[in-house]
């Protein structure tokens, strides 16, 4: 079968590697190109958008794709919506591989907000020291706020940055003791993050819980219904089942 994987997560890369190691399918791995230094995969790779729902549907037809795996980031809502619509137009099977959302541990102090634009309101006007891990493209809401931000990103964020900020360039996974040390060193009193659900970056939440640090959690956007799984193993089993039908 010819499989299009809409990538952007560690799970997408691991699924691609697992499928390629079996040698049973032709894999096309698609990336939006947001992260320039994305880790390579052992498959045909395309980078960039499709041109909306119609463009994705045309790509599916032209490339003679048999099924689609949406393994994009939980906050790549537009791509997930387009995948549902395009696969419906082409009558193609679609599986959404999505990580389980993070949940607060006992004693954690979480404030939930529905969108990144709502975070400054949750932070308030009293100056605070914020560990900001929402991604390099989501800094505009924090421009002009009174807080000091430690911004962690895989790649350097575009200008402008919050006036009082420090940028740390790093790629996970991050260890719990390292996260505790970082929060203490920078005297952080609030962590701001999106509910990505990644195991590689989850230790910051446990570090915040242990240190009694507040968390402002941006909740995931709602996605249209689709067949879903939460692990690479489940995705492989689903693909194997689809293969028997072809």
- The domain locations on the chain are 2-100+222-245, 110-218
pLDDT over 60 at 31, yes or no: yes
Mean pLDDT of 25-31: 94
The answer to whether domain 110-218 has CATH 3.30.365.10 is no
Q: What percent of the chain has pLDDT over 90?
A: 86
The tokens 């240190």 sit on which residue?
211
Q: Using 50, 70 and 90 to split pLDDT, how confident is the model at 195?
A: very high
Give the global pTM: 0.91
pLDDT tens-place string over residues 49-63: 999 999 999 999 999
CB neighbour burial string for 164-196, b if at least 16 within 10 angstroms, e if fewer: ebeeeeeebebeeeebbebbeebebbbbbbbbb
Which two tokens mark 182? 């970082």
Kindly report the average pLDDT of the chain as a whole number. 94
pLDDT tens-place string over residues 126-171: 999 999 999 888 999 999 999 999 999 999 999 999 999 999 999 9
Mean pLDDT of 186-196: 97
The answer to whether domain 2-100+222-245 has CATH 3.40.50.10470 is no
Q: Confirm whether 2-100+222-245 and 110-218 share one CATH topology.
A: yes
By DSSP bridging, strand 26-31 and strand 2-6 are parallel
pLDDT over 80 at 38, yes or no: no
Residue 194: closest CA among 236, 144, 137, 244: 137
């Amino acid at each position: 079968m010819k499989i299009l994987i809409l990538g952007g997560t560690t799970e997408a890369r691991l699924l691609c590697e697992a499928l390629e190691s079996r040698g049973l399918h032709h894999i096309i791995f698609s990336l939006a190109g947001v992260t320039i230094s994305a880790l390579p995969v052992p498959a045909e790779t395309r980078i960039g958008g499709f041109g909306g729902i119609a463009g994705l549907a045309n790509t599916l037809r032209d490339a003679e794709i048999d099924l689609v795996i949406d393994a994009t980031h939980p906050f790549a809502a537009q791509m997930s919506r387009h995948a549902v619509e395009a696969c419906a137009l082409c009558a193609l099977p679609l599986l959404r591989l999505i990580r389980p959302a993070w949940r607060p541990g006992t004693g954690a102090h979480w404030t939930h907000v529905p969108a990144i634009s709502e975070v400054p309101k949750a932070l308030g006007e009293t100056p605070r020291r914020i560990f900001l891990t929402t991604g390099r493209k989501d800094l505009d809401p924090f421009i002009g706020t009174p807080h000091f931000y430690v911004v962690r990103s895989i790649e350097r964020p575009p200008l402008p940055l919050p006036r009082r900020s420090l940028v740390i360039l790093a790629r996970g996974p991050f260890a719990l003791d390292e996260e505790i040390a970082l929060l203490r060193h920078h005297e952080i009193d609030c962590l701001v993050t999106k509910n990505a659900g990644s195991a590689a970056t989850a230790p910051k939440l446990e570090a915040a819980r242990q240190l009694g640090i507040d968390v402002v959690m941006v909740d995931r956007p709602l996605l249209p219904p689709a067949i879903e799984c939460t692990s690479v193993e489940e995705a492989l089993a689903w693909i194997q089942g689809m293969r028997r039908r072809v």
